[in-house]
Amino acid sequence: MADAWHPSQGLERDLYGHSAAKTLIDGAIARRRLHHAILLTGPCGIGKATFAWRLAARLLAEDGEDVAATSRLLLAGTHPDFACLEADGNGPGRAGTKDIGVDAVRGILRRFAHASGRPRRVAILDPVDALNTNAANALLKTLEEPPAGVVWLLVSHVPGRLPATIRSRALHVRLAPLDDDDTRRAIAELGLGDIPATDLETLLHLADGRPGRALALAGDDDLGDVEAFAALLEAPANAVSGAQLLAIADRIGKRGNDHAFSAMLDVWATHLAKTVKDARAGDVDPAVLAELAGLWDKAGRQIRDTTIFNLDRARLAEFLIEARPVVGRQNDCPADRDPRH
């Protein structure tokens, strides 16, 4: 089943896309100047964890050793020179928790404190954003005085939340969304190649170059509603009727529709990020950027309140459509509007 797929699968195969990142790493390995900490950043679902696992398999395979043999040890969770901490703990040999505490980080440090006789040892933190304060301080100390041969692969969805001291001591490798061809190949490898053509095209559109996002959406009975929501976000100002807005908001916001609701939030955040990027690239009044920042803050508060206090999701969906960011729209500031009026 597609939903059983994990970044540790297919370690012996190449990774689709991310050619610039692979070239950077290849060059560092060839020059024997691989950094002791690599910070992998980019949008959720583009393959940062997959990149980390496949790089780990490559680094741990000694000269002449088959990467597939190393991969089998990683999959079994029995490789003596590998450790992985992550926030959900679904993978082989991985310890999981909501956040990553100092004891977990110190456990890796104790394991890697002494030379093992092998060229490298690798640790993955997925995501490093989940480190609590004490764990971040413990990691920082080892990054300042790195043990010989240890490589830290730090997966980060929101690198801005990391202490600047950690960011400054890691090689920052930014991964970008895949192009359509690589997204199709990755989706097929994820086990989604046999879905109907119309659903596949919808997935490609909503995935926006992120195979992990396609995997999360696949099989969702409400995929059409998420697609309709995305289409409304792209609609010109004043082009969405009240009936359209309410119908989509009510369907996505209904109780128990957690999958579509989560996808809606992801779609909206992606749309806003693209709008900000386009605004920065164009000749846009700084006031527009300030308006978008205000919208981001207000939407973030409403999303947080709706989630924490179990408020009406349909009304949140209505707000996100009504206040959709459209650069150049000639109407009231969306951050100041009440969507119910």
Q: Give the contacts of 253 (CB within 8 A, at least 6 positions apart).
A: 261, 312, 313, 314, 315, 316, 317, 318
Give pLDDT, residue 338: 38
Give pLDDT, residue 147: 87
Average pLDDT of 142-169?
Answer: 93
Q: Could you tell me if 178 and 17 are in contact, meaning their C-beta atoms sit under 8 angstroms apart?
A: yes
* The token pair that represents 313 in the structure block: 């999701």
Residue 91 has pLDDT above 60, yes or no: no
- DSSP secondary structure string for all residues of 286-305: HHHHHHHHHHHHHHHHHHHH
Give pLDDT, residue 315: 93
Band of the pLDDT at 95, cuts 50, 70, 90? Answer: very low
Band of the pLDDT at 341, cuts 50, 70, 90? Answer: very low
* φ, ψ (nearest 5 deg) of residue 170: -130, 150
Q: State if pTM tops 0.85.
A: no
* φ, ψ (nearest 5 deg) of residue 332: -65, 155
User: Which residue, 321, 339, 218, 332, is CA-closest to 272?
Assistant: 321
**More confident of the two residues 171 and 188:** 171
* The token pair that represents 270 in the structure block: 């992606």
Give pLDDT, residue 245: 85
**More confident of the two residues 92 and 78:** 78
Average pLDDT of 317-340?
Answer: 58
How do residues 114-148 score in pLDDT, each as one tens digit?
766 777 899 999 999 999 999 999 999 999 999 88
Band of the pLDDT at 57, cuts 50, 70, 90? Answer: very high
Residue 175 has pLDDT above 80, yes or no: yes
Q: How many other β-carbons are positioned within 10 Å of the β-carbon of residue 79?
A: 21
- DSSP secondary structure string for all residues of 274-285: HHHHHHHHTT--
Residue 174 has pLDDT above 90, yes or no: yes
Percentage of the chain exceeding pLDDT 90: 39
Band of the pLDDT at 35, cuts 50, 70, 90? Answer: very high
Residue 2 has pLDDT above 60, yes or no: no
Q: Give the contacts of 137 (CB within 8 A, at least 6 positions apart).
A: 102
Residue 339 has pLDDT above 50, yes or no: no
Give pLDDT, residue 219: 64
Rounded-to-integer distance, Cα 101 and Cα 255, Å: 34
Q: Could you tell me if 231 and 169 are in contact, meaning their C-beta atoms sit under 8 angstroms apart?
A: no
User: Which residue, 206, 123, 211, 125, is CA-closest to 175?
Assistant: 211
Give pLDDT, residue 202: 82
Rounded-to-integer distance, Cα 18 and Cα 131, Å: 26
Residue that is written with structure tokens 């009406």 in the block: 312
Give pLDDT, residue 221: 66
Average pLDDT, the chain: 84
Q: Could you tell me if 227 and 202 are in contact, meaning their C-beta atoms sit under 8 angstroms apart?
A: yes
How do residues 60-74 score in pLDDT, each as one tens digit?
987 667 778 888 899
Helix (H, G, I), strand (E, B) or coil at 166: helix
- DSSP secondary structure string for all residues of 65-113: --HHHHHHHHHHT--TTEEEEESS--STT-EE-SSB-HHHHHHHHHHTS
Average pLDDT of 102-117?
Answer: 86
Give pLDDT, residue 262: 85
How do residues 281-312 score in pLDDT, each as one tens digit?
877 788 888 888 899 899 999 999 998 998 99
Lowest mean pLDDT segment, chosen from 48-57, 94-103, 194-203: 94-103
Residue 340 has pLDDT above 90, yes or no: no
Measured CA to CA in angstroms, residue 117 lies from 32, 114, 261 at distances of 18, 9, 50
Start-end of H helices in the chain: 19-30, 48-60, 67-76, 102-111, 133-144, 164-167, 180-187, 197-207, 211-217, 223-234, 242-252, 258-281, 286-308, 313-322
Q: Which residues pair with 131 in a beta bridge?
A: 100
**Which of 3-17, 182-196, 229-243, 259-273 is most confident?**
259-273
